[in-house]
Structure 1
């Protein structure tokens, strides 16, 4: 239990009705979860406005209400606090309720369009292998030392984040690496956290269904760096033209990394093949099991973070050479017939282009590159023709299929993807709405030495159609079909 006035510390208040000296059992922003003596924070969401459920919260026993507008009906015995911004209030209240746990460890946020999951996960693995107790908050999973928990969002809500950080404190975790999404920043889920560092990977076409313009999307990312304290570091990829933009107003110590530009941390690709990468990282040669130019960037970023957080260079490089690829990120299998199947989360034009260019740089061109790809429903529609164009231009065969259609008509999504295919590439393409059938078709088309890329869902183990999620694992399914063909 906490005293309300204590968890309201740093929250700008406009009016108070009742006493802030009351004790509260918990904090909720979903009225359905309110229990006796909880405080309910009325947040205006993209789908629902929490202010409409204030009476529900008080009926269920809420002892306090935090809101931007006071309700007409005031219930005796309930404290009402009017604030400027409920989302910001929720962030600070959650942090205080869970003892400001982010300040008791070194928390590093990773943001950007592509690479967040890979970098955060590899950093977790790097520091774990270095002998530290480490935490991870990612799209794929949450790790508290060696305990795994399911992930629900790339960047969870403030209550979930801070409760996990409190558990990390209790477990003696020293470092935590978390993905910081543009949605999470915009909705102030990370506003009250104390970061020891921030990493910017890149910026490309994504989430324009939520952020109205690319400039808005960029500026939301930038605001994360603007708020870093002087004690933190800001590490940015300056091969991306937006890298230096992220550093413009930050008070943090500034560091850069790049493969093509002058930077504090640089890398050269000496060898790039399906077996891995030979890199020169800041003058040191290291072999990695990871593949492709995009992973060269990821490895350079984790090397830099390792050094900035105190890892000795030789130990840093030794462990990097042992790291495995992250689930659903260029995860591949090779059959006895030497058919290579690759599963990757590439769900943006930039990510898809990176993966296809990586494969094309390695393959001999004597084999087919068969790509299975689609686009999710209820998301940014403007990227669909771009995905169709890139897939058809950089593959020898393309099968367009469903991703997570959600509430949209899958065939309509495919038509929008197909609209980006240029005339000279029409004959390369086909559409198979059923994703499982599309993967099966790719396997049937493949011949020895051919390469199959299944893009878009990566680590996801479900497919969402009309609000229902059913089991669906690209890597598992392609393995099953390939084994059938070997019989």
Structure 2
């Protein structure tokens, strides 16, 4: 794919040549000759410290937020993690556009809900895939999944493989970490499910308000801005946060309750 097609929405730099990109990676160890390296600041390591290494391993270009050494073919963007989500989706042909994609978020019950929805879809005869905490599975294939929501490159690659194998319906657990780190941006969801919200992940989030707003972003931005027609949100209103969430959604909603 042409470099210009990957970066057209984010680049603040003018590229000297429109290279053909053979691969993409955010880990310099995974760089292949002719590839594009995306420098992302992580919790332990900063990809910007490995730009030289990426070029030495054959990277054609680098996407980064800073370029202190003024290296050639470094394309500056405001948010390299968000840009990575866009680049990954483009590189793998935006696979979720051609499938039915369901996102499930909440503190508890995500995994159980994926099993329930998977059973329903399979009973209806749909070729179904799941991306979740337990594993990634489709077409009698099962893969370990080290995190609930994979990074955007791994996620888009998985969706691409699922679509190529004939999967039509995908159910994905969407974690607050995945949302905050832009892993599911540029995924085209058809439906979102909110299970509940209780105290969790406060080692990462700065409080319950920030934690809830992160979950809320899935519905107001990711699902709300989906390029699919008529997205739907299913919200558990037995949880007080579910009632608050319901009022913020501007598209079709289905409220569920065992008490009201």
- Scaled to the shorter chain, the TM-score interval is over 0.9
TM-score normalised by the chain length of structure 2: 0.94
Distance in structure 2 (CA, Å) of the matches to 1:62 and 1:153:
27
The match for 1:41 is: 38
**Residue 94 in structure 1 maps to residue 88 in structure 2:** yes
* 1:452-474 Cα shifts (integer Å, max 9, x gaps): xxxxxxxxxxxxxxxxxxxxxxx
The match for 1:159 is: 153
Distance in structure 2 (CA, Å) of the matches to 1:126 and 1:65:
43
Distance in structure 2 (CA, Å) of the matches to 1:145 and 1:122:
17
Distance in structure 2 (CA, Å) of the matches to 1:124 and 1:98:
24
**Residue 57 in structure 1 maps to residue 60 in structure 2:** no
* Other structure's SS at 2:254 match: strand
* 1:279-299 Cα shifts (integer Å, max 9, x gaps): xxxxxxxxxxxxxxxxxxxxx
The match for 1:249 is: 248
Distance in structure 2 (CA, Å) of the matches to 1:248 and 1:48:
39
* Other structure's SS at 1:236 match: strand
* Other structure's SS at 1:16 match: coil
The match for 2:21 is: 24
User: Which ranges in structure 1 are unaligned for 5 or more consecutive residues?
Assistant: 262-487
By how many angstroms is 1:167 displaced? Answer: 1.2
The match for 2:208 is: 214
Point out 4+ residue stretches in structure 1 off by more than 6 angstroms: none
CA contact (8 A) 1:18 1:80 kept: no
Distance in structure 2 (CA, Å) of the matches to 1:240 and 1:159:
33
User: Which ranges in structure 2 are unaligned for 5 or more consecutive residues?
Assistant: none
TM-score normalised by the chain length of structure 1: 0.51
**How many pairs does the alignment contain?**
255
By how many angstroms is 1:17 displaced? Answer: 4.5
Distance in structure 2 (CA, Å) of the matches to 1:130 and 1:147:
20
By how many angstroms is 1:73 displaced? Answer: 4.2
The match for 1:71 is: 68
* Other structure's SS at 1:194 match: coil
| Distance change in 2, residues 1:9/1:74 (3 Å) | closer
Query: Which protein shows a greater Rg?
Result: 1
The match for 2:7 is: 8
Distance in structure 2 (CA, Å) of the matches to 1:170 and 1:102:
11
Q: How does 1:13-412 map to 2 (within 5 A)?
A: 13-19=11-17, 21-75=18-72, 79-227=73-221, 228=223, 229=226, 231-261=230-260
Higher strand share: 1
Distance in structure 1 (CA, Å) of the matches to 2:197 and 2:112:
15
By how many angstroms is 1:212 displaced? Answer: 0.8
* 1:250-273 Cα shifts (integer Å, max 9, x gaps): 343111101112xxxxxxxxxxxx
By how many angstroms is 1:169 displaced? Answer: 1.1
Q: Which has the higher contact order (CA 8 A, sep 6+)?
A: 2
Q: CA RMSD in A?
A: 1.3
* Other structure's SS at 1:205 match: coil
* Other structure's SS at 1:223 match: helix
CA contact (8 A) 1:221 1:246 kept: no
Distance in structure 2 (CA, Å) of the matches to 1:9 and 1:218:
32
* Other structure's SS at 1:256 match: strand
By how many angstroms is 1:25 displaced? Answer: 1.1
* 1:229-257 Cα shifts (integer Å, max 9, x gaps): 46210111000001122234334311110
Distance in structure 2 (CA, Å) of the matches to 1:233 and 1:245:
17
Distance in structure 1 (CA, Å) of the matches to 2:32 and 2:165:
28
Distance in structure 2 (CA, Å) of the matches to 1:239 and 1:249:
16
The match for 1:382 is: none
